[in-house]
Each structure stands twice: as structure tokens, then as C-alpha cells.
Amino acid sequence: MNGTWIGLLGMILLVSSWAPQTIETIKQKKCPLNFRFVLIYVTASFLLTLYSYMIGDWIFLTLNGLATFQSSVNLYVKIRYH
């Protein structure tokens, strides 16, 4: 089996694990996650997005870009509505 498919499946599963939390956060305008956790997660996933771009790995670029977006939504709600 081509390793790309394994990476793609892992990416889809990880991104889909964040989706329910992000949707709930948007609907309720409340993020139950710890502020520091979300802030560190946004920062780390953004840095990993940059790194993935630099090394040219499109699977990790996509994964980390989407993780940055979804965790940024949670961070925005946490700051805006708390």
C-alpha cells in the first residue's frame, strides 16, 4: 500500500475529530477547552503548517492548516464570548 494513502487517511481522521468540537463551539458560542491549551495548539499547528510548506509535504501541510483553522475558531470564540 502506498504510504500516501496511509497519511491521507490519518489526516482525514484527525481533522474529522476536531470537526464536532468546532461545530459545537460555533453553535453554542462557547468553547469549553482550556484557553492555554487552545492558544498553544493554534501556535503549534501554525508552526507545523509553515514547516510542512518548507519541506513540501502536502499531507501535513493540509492537516496542520486545517488544524490551525479549526483551533483558531475555538480560540476566537473563547476570546470573543468569554
Domain boundaries, the chain: 3-81
pLDDT at 73 exceeding the cut of 60:
yes
The grid coordinates listed for 40 are: 498553544
Question: What architecture (CATH level 2) is domain 3-81?
Answer: Up-down Bundle (1.20)
Spatial distance between the Cα atoms of 3 and 12, rounded to a whole number of angstroms: 14
pLDDT at 25 over 60: yes
Using CA atoms, how far apart are residues 64 and 42, in angstroms rounded to an integer? 10
Contact 15, 63 (CB under 8 A): yes
Q: Give yes or no for residue 27 having a pLDDT over 70.
A: yes
pLDDT over 60 (residue 45): yes
Residues 62 and 48: their CA atoms lie apart, in Å, by 10
Q: Scan for cell 482525514, then name that residue.
A: 12
DSSP symbol at 33: S
